[in-house]
Amino acid sequence: MASGSTLSCRNHGDRGAGQVCGECGDPLCGDCSNRVTDVTLDDYGAGGVRRLIVGLLLIAGSLVLLDALPRGIWLALASVAGKPLYLRLGLKPAFLLTGIALLGTLRFRGISGGFDFSGFSIVTRRNNARVVCQSCYDGDKRLQRTLSRVFKLIAVALIVYGIYQSVAALFFRWLWISGVGGAIWILREDLKLAVIELSS
Amino acid sequence: MYQAEVHRTVSEVRLLERLSFDLTITDEAYQSEHSTDGEIRVFNRADDQVIRDREYPPAHPLGVLTGGVSGESESAYPGTTLYVGVAREPPLEQDEDAFQDDYVMKAIDVDGIPEDGVVGVDLDWDAAEARESMADDTARVATERYDISGLPNDQLPIIVRAELYRDAKRILRVLRNEEDGQRDDLRGRQQYEGQAALVLDIEHRTESGADSAPLRVEGLQVGLSRTFPQIQFDPEHGSSYDPQSRQVKWGSRTVQPGDTARYAIIGPISELLEVDRLDARLQATLGGRTLSGVTVAELFDESGESTQQWQESTPTVSEKTTITAEVEIDPSALRGESKEVSSSRITMQTTPVALFNELVKVCDRNGINITERSPPGDGTPVEGREGVYDVSGEDAGELDVRREYGDEGVVYAGMEITGRYTAMSEEAQVSTFDETEDRLVRRTKGGLDDAGRATLDIDARSADAELNSRFLSTIEEAFGGEM
């Protein structure tokens, strides 16, 4: 650094290494590095309060607000469609599941400090990418990537299926399935973490 | 973007190598030794967030309710591992077996860190420790040590030399750093007439083919075994002398590559030579350079990204070599004159003590200055020879002397007296009864023809063998030419 010297790639000695494996520390060139979102590298940041408010609003919407809307809105939609849509019955579980999922992603600081809440804060867990070498990638990083893809696929499939069923049959109770998909999407990193923890 | 704790807390990474250099110049030995080692130092300073992360770690509500089982993995949180990328551009040495034009180069050995790789430094904090660091506003230093071996003498960054000059003209030129052949400054020379200068040179060796940093001499401290009123120091500016502790100190100065820092102690030669021991301690630093060629190539966090990707300010990286030189000098070992050595041996039928006393008288009569004297001891009984004592080894008598021959030079000599003797004092007491018989019996028992036999070994040293001969002749003639 001070002298302008550089590291050499562990696998290709004639190439410079601009990165190291974040787990074992081996210097790596671009061709030898794998960049993966690693749940063990997560950190925490602000934005927890906003997420809490959105989550609570969704839950409140499910339990109270949708019922408080004027009945005429639902009747008007039904008259346009020519049949009952059951939209409220579909939105209520979808909102509830999404709201609970959002609350499930929150973390708290200072709740173990007794009655002293001076250090209390709500934070969110943030994902980070980590550079790893091939041998470290072949450990739990490959499993992480697979799990991430699986949960995304399930979430997207459920969201699409719920919407498709609702629109195709004009029977919007199926929206609860999209709600499940949305909740899985929101919680996918936490679910991945849980699987990694349990499997290890 | 990943925000590891080390992004905020690491303020400096320092690669520090140490060279300890010992030089001994005495009559018995002229030797230099050195040892080297190094370490990576990471300066880590806690902030509020460090304490908060330890005292109030983020927790999932389910984790709190279920006693911690919540699928939380904190393995890399809050990101306290720093990877220090280390590269080497090793200075090379020529193999001893190689021919001049057939260079076979080999590297200096470095053990403890990779030559081209990464050293992981764990910089995790304890909450109490972090609080203490913040309260004291101090940085905690994490250290990774390594060994350096095989650094050859010719690659040391400094050369230490000691010389004793007695000629005023020469002293003036040396202190003024003038070349020979320049016009003689008679007035300047006058102040050094009759003086001698003990000069200590610290040369900053020039590195070939590299940008050499200047050597920063932090200070030189010289302790003398004795002092004298006429003592002077050069450079006078920046020096402080305490006659009580007999220590002179010079302050810091900078020495460019190829230049020499020169320090001198000046005084009459007789006084300087009587300083039996001079201990000098030099401390210096060499910035931007390491002895082994190890450098910090880059720093990385646990995401594997280098500091170039960090959002916060990047830590300062520096490389430094500290040099500590311990020099022990016996000024008399630097006498330029003592290049010729002549020896002589005189054996006499007398006791070692008597010979020693006689030798002292001879020196006094002939203007020979005794610089150190140690009379013979009682000796040890000779096995199987009752009443006879052997004076040798530690019991031997010693005299260190100096004889000046005007402009011709000075002879320094070491004289050792060994031998055997019978116990004359006991003999004298017995002889009050029957002097003749008793003496005969004891001498017969001792196996000696007389009261004793003593040998004087002389080593004379000067610039001229002729002077040595003259000195030895003086002693031999004083003892009646008996050899």
Q: What is the DSSP string of A128-166?
A: EEEEE-HHHIIIIIHHHHHHHHHHHHHHHHHHHHHHHHH
Mind telling me how many Å the CA of A110 is from chain B's nearest CA? 5
User: Could you report the per-residue pLDDT of B369-396, keeping only the tens digit for each?
Assistant: 887 888 999 888 888 777 788 998 889 9
Residue B422 near residue B455 (C-beta atoms within 8 A) = no
Q: What's the rounded Cα separation, in Å, for the pair A140 and A144?
A: 6
Mean pLDDT across the stretch A38-45? 86
- How close are the terminal C-alpha atoms of chain A, in Å? 39
Mean pLDDT across the stretch A45-73? 91
Q: Is B78–A108 a contact, with Cβ atoms under 8 angstroms apart?
A: no
Task: Give the tokens for residue B194.
Answer: 């009759």
Residues from chain B contacting residue A190 (CB–CB below 8 Å): 71
How large a percentage of chain A has pLDDT more than 70? 93
pLDDT at B66: 53
- Most B-contacting residue of A3, A51, A106 (CB-CB within 10 A), to test interface: A3
Mean pLDDT across the stretch A95-114? 84
Query: Phi/psi at B373 (nearest 5 deg)?
Result: -135, 145
Q: What's the rounded Cα separation, in Å, for the pair B458 and B414?
A: 6
Q: Is B319–A2 a contact, with Cβ atoms under 8 angstroms apart?
A: yes
pLDDT at B440: 43
Q: Is A43–B2 a contact, with Cβ atoms under 8 angstroms apart?
A: yes
Among the partner residues A2, A26, A128, nearest to B295 by beta-carbon distance: A2
Taking the CB of residue A62, how many other CB atoms lie within 10 A of it? 22
- Would the CA dihedral through B375, B381, B383, B385 be positive or negative? positive
- Most A-contacting residue of B300, B307, B309, B317 (CB-CB within 10 A), to test interface: B300
Name residues whose C-beta falls within 8 Å of residue A79's C-beta, 6 or more positions apart in sequence: none
Taking the CB of residue B193, how many other CB atoms lie within 10 A of it? 10
Sketch the domain layout of chain A as residue ranges.
1-32, 33-199
Rounded to 5°, angle at Cα B34 from B295 and B98? 75
Closest listed residue to residue B405, CA positions, set B344, B464, B331: B464
Stretches where chain B sits below pLDDT 70 are: 28-29, 63-76, 90-107, 179-186, 207-211, 335-339, 406-407, 423-450, 481-483
Mean pLDDT across the stretch A122-136? 91
Residues from chain A contacting residue B117 (CB–CB below 8 Å): 7, 10, 25-27
Mind telling me how many Å the CA of A173 is from chain B's nearest CA? 30
pLDDT at A42: 87
Among the partner residues B75, B117, B301, nearest to A27 by beta-carbon distance: B117
Residues from chain B contacting residue A110 (CB–CB below 8 Å): 56
pLDDT at B150: 83
Give long-range contacts, CB 8 A cutoff, 24+ apart: A7-14: A7/B85, A7/B87, A7/B116, A7/B117, A7/B118, A7/B297, A7/B298, A8/B87, A8/B116, A10/A133, A10/B117
Q: Is A128–B56 a contact, with Cβ atoms under 8 angstroms apart?
A: no
Q: What's the rounded Cα separation, in Å, for the pair B40 and B87?
A: 13
Which chain B residue shows the shortest CA-CA distance from A199?
B71
Q: Compute the radius of gyration of chain B from its Cα atoms.
A: 34
Three-state secondary-structure class, residue B103 = coil
Give this complex's ipTM: 0.84
Q: What's the rounded Cα separation, in Å, for the pair B148 and B158?
A: 17
Whole-number Cα distances in Å, A148 to A137, A158, A185, B476: 14, 16, 10, 104
Residue B421 near residue B389 (C-beta atoms within 8 A) = yes
pLDDT at B332: 77
Strands B452-462 and B340-348: antiparallel
Domains and CATH numbers, chain B: 5-57+79-155+290-328 (2.60.40), 158-288 (2.60.40), 337-478 (3.30.310)
Q: What's the rounded Cα separation, in Å, for the pair B326 and B87?
A: 31
Among the partner residues A18, A107, A113, nearest to B58 by beta-carbon distance: A107
| B268, containing H or E segment | none
Name residues whose C-beta falls within 8 Å of residue A165's C-beta, 6 or more positions apart in sequence: A171, A174, A177
pLDDT at B101: 45
User: Is B302 an interface residue toward A (CB < 8 Å)?
Assistant: yes
**Residue B69 corresponds to which amino acid?**
V
Residue B371 near residue B397 (C-beta atoms within 8 A) = no
Q: Is B118–A7 a contact, with Cβ atoms under 8 angstroms apart?
A: yes
Residue A108 has pLDDT above 70, yes or no: yes
Task: Give the tokens for residue B211.
Answer: 């940008």
User: Could you report the per-residue pLDDT of B313-339, keeping only the tens digit for each?
Assistant: 789 999 999 999 999 988 877 765 556
Residue B146 DSSP symbol: E
- Helix runs in B114-268, H state only: 127-136, 168-176, 186-190
Q: What's the rounded Cα separation, in Å, for the pair A104 and B70?
A: 11
Cis peptide before B235 (omega within 30 of 0): yes
User: Could you report the per-residue pLDDT of B67-76, keeping only the tens digit for each?
Assistant: 444 445 555 6
Residues from chain B contacting residue A109 (CB–CB below 8 Å): 52, 56-59
Q: What's the rounded Cα separation, in Å, for the pair A47 and B223?
A: 67
Residues from chain B contacting residue A132 (CB–CB below 8 Å): 304
pLDDT at B89: 74
Which chain B residue shows the shortest CA-CA distance from A119?
B56
Whole-number Cα distances in Å, B412 to A131, A145, B45, B168, B393: 74, 86, 62, 21, 22
Q: What's the rounded Cα separation, in Å, for the pair B65 and B54?
A: 20
Mind telling me how many Å the CA of A190 is from chain B's nearest CA? 7
User: Could you report the per-residue pLDDT of A163-172, keeping only the tens digit for each?
Assistant: 999 999 889 9
Closest listed residue to residue B470, CA positions, set B375, B423, B383, B405: B405
